[in-house]
A and B are shown apart, each in its own frame.
Chain A
Amino acid sequence: MTTQAHDSSAALVKMANDIADYFHSEPDRKLAVDGIVNHITRFWEPRMRKKILAHFAGHSGEGLNELARAAIARLAEAAKTSA
């Protein structure tokens, strides 16, 4: 009936931040980043992962919190290696 402005990368950034917020209380930082990476890999459809990587590359991960950024950086690295 009406349309709203649509920005799917904003939604993905919010999702990534929410996941990172959960893992924030993990005292072992490596485990926290692993947890986020694992969650995104297991539950996000590939196009969503591609989009957040593009956002990370194109907009230097604008809006991502620190822990989410570390996880996306790891995903970007992995994508580069497998490519």
Chain B
Amino acid sequence: MLSIVELDFGTPKSKSAQQITLTIDGREVSVPAGTSVLRAASEAGVQIPKLCATELLDAFGSCRLCLVQIEGMKGYPASCTTPVAAGMKVTTQNAKLADIRRGVMELYISDHPLDCLTCPANGHCELQDMAGAVGLRDVRYGYDGVNHVYAESRQPVPKGFGEITAVRTQNGKNPLFSAKDESNPYFTFDPSKCIVCSRCVRACDEQQGTLALTIQGRGFASKVAASQDEGFMDSECVSCGACVQACPTATLSETSLIKIGQAEHSVTTTCAYCGVGCSFRAEMRGEEIVRMVPNKDGRANHGHSCVKGRFAIGYATHKDRILKPMVRSKISDPWREVSWEEAIAHAASEFKRIQAKYGRDSIGGITSSRCTNEETYLVQKLVRAGFGNNNVDTCARVCHSPTGYGLKQTLGESAGTQDFDSVMQADVIMVIGANPTDGHPVFASQMKRRLRQGAKLIVVDPRSIDIVRTPHVQADYHLKLKPGTNVALVTALAHAIVTEGLVDEEFVRTRCEADAFAKWRAFVSEQRNSPEAMESVTGVPAAQVRSAARLYATGGNGAIYYGLGVTEHSQGSTTVMGIANLAMATGNIGREGVGVNPLRGQNNVQGSCDMGSFPHEFPGYRHVADNAVRATFEQAWNVHLQNEPGLRIPNMFEAALDGEFRGIYIEGEDIAQSDPNTQHVTAALTAMECVVVQDLFLNETAKFAHVFLPGSSFLEKDGTFTNAERRISLVRKVMQPKNGYADWEITQLLSNAMGYLMNYAHPSEIMDEIARLTPTFAGVSFKKLDELGSIQWPCNEEAPLGTPTMHVHEFVRGKGRFMLTEYVPTAEKVNAKYPLILTTGRILSQYNVGAQTRRTENSRWHSEDRLDIHPQDAEDRGIAEGDWVGIESRAGQTVLRATISARMQPGVVYTTFHFPFSGANVITTDNSDWATNCPEYKVTAVQITRVSQPSEWQQRYRVFSEQQQELLRESGATAV
């Protein structure tokens, strides 16, 4: 079912610049060439009846309801499949058309149940609407004949009915009837209501690109089936919900819609999951969400979504949510529920006490990529202005900080260069260290659409991830490198491009620094950087590297998309610079279809970085030592600010263990689960005197906290998120905060209690302040966001509507700068004791530390983290599918169940980190990126063995965790 507020124009919008004029029902209408007659009429306000058409999908022409008469054309063409032509004269309504349409509807309804009053689609059913639109009054065929509607057959199936006669009525059962499929927790498939319009099948093909659905059988026996007629849960379906949205009847309906009923209003907001930042319509009944429907006008997602954004929102009302503030003096004490006033006063007095005793720099704060820009901005302002130091960092430290550093060094701006739609102009797509079908599913669907159109694909990844080979997509090259050798590979690609004369010399000469390029050219040309020399390091055959380099350099528009498989390494920043080098050397930057595109992990990674969350930078990536910049903030904030960088997250841990860092305010971040070397993190937390956690749940970090401030969900506040394409979108409050305050209000309360006064009445005022102080945000306001839908920064006088493509005429830093990328092997070496490399990643159904998705039905797809092992490695160790496997690294050990997978390469094992008990980060080490301290999550030397019980850490964790739950229960903490 489509959104209750969107008007569906029937077929996709044409992008043609050429206008065509035609006449529809005597009215002159002008539309872009390539527009269908159906859409042209709809745009002119003439609604032609339709069932199989929706603008989210290509025209199909099967329902025969949108027939029209066109002067000079024979018969009654379908208006959805007929493009407009100059001078065309169209009649949409006359007696003959009415007669045909009524006849068609009569047939549809003769095989459709008449339980409209109790049907979930009632009130927004396209079939019912069309019956009304065509004036259907009678169904002459009755309901006793062959049908898909009734479980019991009312009469024998007549002979001569093709294949159906073969399965003739047995024991009075109707062989054409299929029972409801309720296997998927989020939607129900009721085939008895299906009109076989194929919208679901086409949505799965065209929008999602999974091709899990099909029309099975022929003629009257045709029916929708998932995979080989399996239940939805057992099929290849990824539960994106595109089919549910596309269905014009109640055949595919959200379980929540069935339970609650139709929404009465709709609020446009932005998803709080990954960095794609899909725009959604929260369809509401009062303060209750009936369903989330992706916004067809959303420029990041164009009406598509995934299983997380559309369905996994139950966490916001989960019983585990904590709604009252709590305090305790020791982490072994029970929690004590207190008033907001007491909690805030206590936190402030503790912070002041610690600063008085240990110095101004002994406390700090952590902002989160899950929070809004306004919240993040306030936390860093609180730290810089209220705490009086620069000890503020964000979780981007552990994901994309190398992107910030690397792109700033080379291109001059710490952000991706394109919008997502740019991929539709790409001819060669290179995916490095990213798993878009799991991590950024909605963008992956768009990428797959482009690949199905014929774009070439190069995948650089240690594992055979889905995008390497998926329906109608096959990578041209999969460079299956050893984890930790990205720099060697990227430099080898550069070697091939330079030495084979594939450099775009004109681009480099006019757009880049000559000296730096000359130095880089000499460096990459050295024989030791050739694909042949690097083969033994990367494990990738040199010929493949050379072919891939040629394809990228000469195949037309080349676009690079990369993820945490690039950044989370000891040389993360070097690889980012290496990628920028490749784009500059081949002239693949500064226009549509090309560029350097970091796929950001969390919803607001880009925004949290933009907002000055890093200890060395004010909002807009300006160093704290820059006197002029600092002066503007000092004046605006009316306070003296430090000119030296503060502590980064890992430095905070070190300082805590040194006794120099004693208090921390953590908003929406779970460092005890997400950061590497868990035992080091928890030791640092234990060493602090006041840990204040602001979150929805008593997360892993909160188990070490002294003050818990309940946070609000993205549904409960106003603000903005900035996605991976620099797109700023409004987050809108659809319900009151269950905890009493939006998060920005809590930070403001804390700041005021600390003695630094803040007085914002609404987040829009915070954005106004950001715009005043940050040149790239100068033109941004809530009002403008509301008018335009979304804005890609920079948005200022030169670009009042924002900037989809960056570095068009010159780089932000002026000339592009090539940087040297010497391969330095990681210190994390395999040896006889630790012979395997563990690498980590994510899975579609779960998100980050899982705090949200684990509290939804998404766990039905992934209920535990498993260790993926290559069959050979498993056999060598006598490990079988499902066995418990102990994983030991230099940092620690844990136990997971084994999945034997040929996706792995020998010598490499893999796991996800969505469940705390898995302890994935107990084994990851303190190694980090040389430039930013981003942890090396992707490379840990390990040994694995078959075991029979959880690791010692896991057993301790379980005891500790149970103790903490008990301390929570003793507080009588209020659940939702």
Contact residues of A with B, CB < 8 Å? 1-4, 6, 8, 11, 14-15, 18-19, 21-22, 24-27, 39, 42-48
Query: What is the number of residues of chain B that contact chain A, defined by CB distance less than 8 Å?
Result: 44
Contact B931 A22 (CB under 8 A): yes
What separation, in Å, do the CA atoms of A54 and B240 have in the docked complex? 57
Q: Which of A4, A42, A43, A44 has the most CB of B within 10 A?
A: A43
23 pairs across A/B with beta carbons < 8 Å?
A1-B682, A1-B686, A1-B957, A2-B679, A6-B654, A6-B657, A6-B658, A18-B570, A18-B824, A18-B930, A19-B931, A21-B930, A22-B573, A22-B931, A25-B820, A25-B821, A25-B822, A43-B932, A45-B361, A45-B644, A45-B645, A45-B648, A48-B651
A11 to B, closest residue via Cβ: B654
Contact A47 B660 (CB under 8 A): yes
CB distance from B698 to the nearest CB of A (A): 17
B930 partner, pick from A22, A26, A42, beta carbons under 8 A: A22
The SS class assigned to the B binding surface is loop
B657 partner residues in chain A, CB cutoff 8 A: 6, 8
Q: Mark B655-669, 1 if CB is under 8 A from A, else 0.
A: 101101000000000
On whether A8 and B654 interact (CB within 8 A), knowing A21-B930, A27-B519, the answer reads yes
Contact B683 A2 (CB under 8 A): yes
What separation, in Å, do the CA atoms of A1 and B651 have in the docked complex? 20
B623 partner residues in chain A, CB cutoff 8 A: 42
CB distance from A55 to the nearest CB of B (A): 13
On whether A45 and B930 interact (CB within 8 A), knowing A1-B682, A1-B956, A22-B822, the answer reads no
Q: Is B204 an interface residue (CB 8 A)?
A: no
CB distance from A69 to the nearest CB of B (A): 16
Q: Mark B588-632, 1 if CB is under 8 A from A, else 0.
A: 000000000000000000000000000110000001010000000
What separation, in Å, do the CA atoms of A36 and B534 have in the docked complex? 27
Q: Is B76 an interface residue (CB 8 A)?
A: no
A15 partner residues in chain B, CB cutoff 8 A: 928, 930, 933
B648 partner residues in chain A, CB cutoff 8 A: 43, 45
On whether A3 and B683 interact (CB within 8 A), knowing A8-B657, A27-B519, the answer reads yes
B651 partner residues in chain A, CB cutoff 8 A: 45, 48
B616 partner residues in chain A, CB cutoff 8 A: 42-43
CB distance from A17 to the nearest CB of B (A): 9
B:466-480 near A, CB below 8 Å: none
B:660-690 near A, CB below 8 Å: 660, 679-680, 682-683, 686
B615 to A, closest residue via Cβ: A45
B820 partner residues in chain A, CB cutoff 8 A: 25-26
Q: Is B646 an interface residue (CB 8 A)?
A: yes
A19 partner residues in chain B, CB cutoff 8 A: 930-931
CB distance from A27 to the nearest CB of B (A): 7
CB distance from A15 to the nearest CB of B (A): 7
B679 partner, pick from A4, A11, A46, A47, beta carbons under 8 A: A4
Contact B960 A1 (CB under 8 A): yes
Q: Is B251 an interface residue (CB 8 A)?
A: no
B391 to A, closest residue via Cβ: A45
On whether A42 and B625 interact (CB within 8 A), knowing A6-B658, A11-B654, the answer reads yes
What separation, in Å, do the CA atoms of A78 and B390 have in the docked complex? 23
What separation, in Å, do the CA atoms of A2 and B658 have in the docked complex? 16
A19 to B, closest residue via Cβ: B930
What separation, in Å, do the CA atoms of A44 and B651 have in the docked complex? 9
A42 partner residues in chain B, CB cutoff 8 A: 616, 623, 625, 645
Q: Is B36 an interface residue (CB 8 A)?
A: no
Q: Which of A15, A39, A45 has the most CB of B within 10 A?
A: A45
A45 partner residues in chain B, CB cutoff 8 A: 361, 390-391, 615, 644-648, 651
CB distance from B597 to the nearest CB of A (A): 24
Contact A4 B680 (CB under 8 A): yes
A2 partner residues in chain B, CB cutoff 8 A: 679, 683, 956
A18 partner residues in chain B, CB cutoff 8 A: 570, 824, 928, 930
B:921-963 near A, CB below 8 Å: 926, 928, 930-933, 953, 956-957, 960
B680 partner residues in chain A, CB cutoff 8 A: 4
A21 partner, pick from B645, B647, B824, beta carbons under 8 A: B824
Contact A43 B654 (CB under 8 A): no
What separation, in Å, do the CA atoms of A39 and B660 have in the docked complex? 23
A6 partner residues in chain B, CB cutoff 8 A: 654, 657-658, 683
What separation, in Å, do the CA atoms of A1 and B571 have in the docked complex? 31
Q: Is B523 an interface residue (CB 8 A)?
A: yes
CB distance from B838 to the nearest CB of A (A): 20
A39 partner, pick from B390, B654, B655, B931, beta carbons under 8 A: B931
Contact B644 A46 (CB under 8 A): yes
What separation, in Å, do the CA atoms of A53 and B683 have in the docked complex? 26
What separation, in Å, do the CA atoms of A42 and B648 have in the docked complex? 12
A25 partner residues in chain B, CB cutoff 8 A: 523, 820-822
Q: Is B574 an interface residue (CB 8 A)?
A: yes
What separation, in Å, do the CA atoms of A12 and B93 have in the docked complex? 79
B574 partner, pick from A11, A22, A46, beta carbons under 8 A: A22
CB distance from B889 to the nearest CB of A (A): 14
What separation, in Å, do the CA atoms of A44 and B624 have in the docked complex? 12
What separation, in Å, do the CA atoms of A56 and B41 have in the docked complex? 78
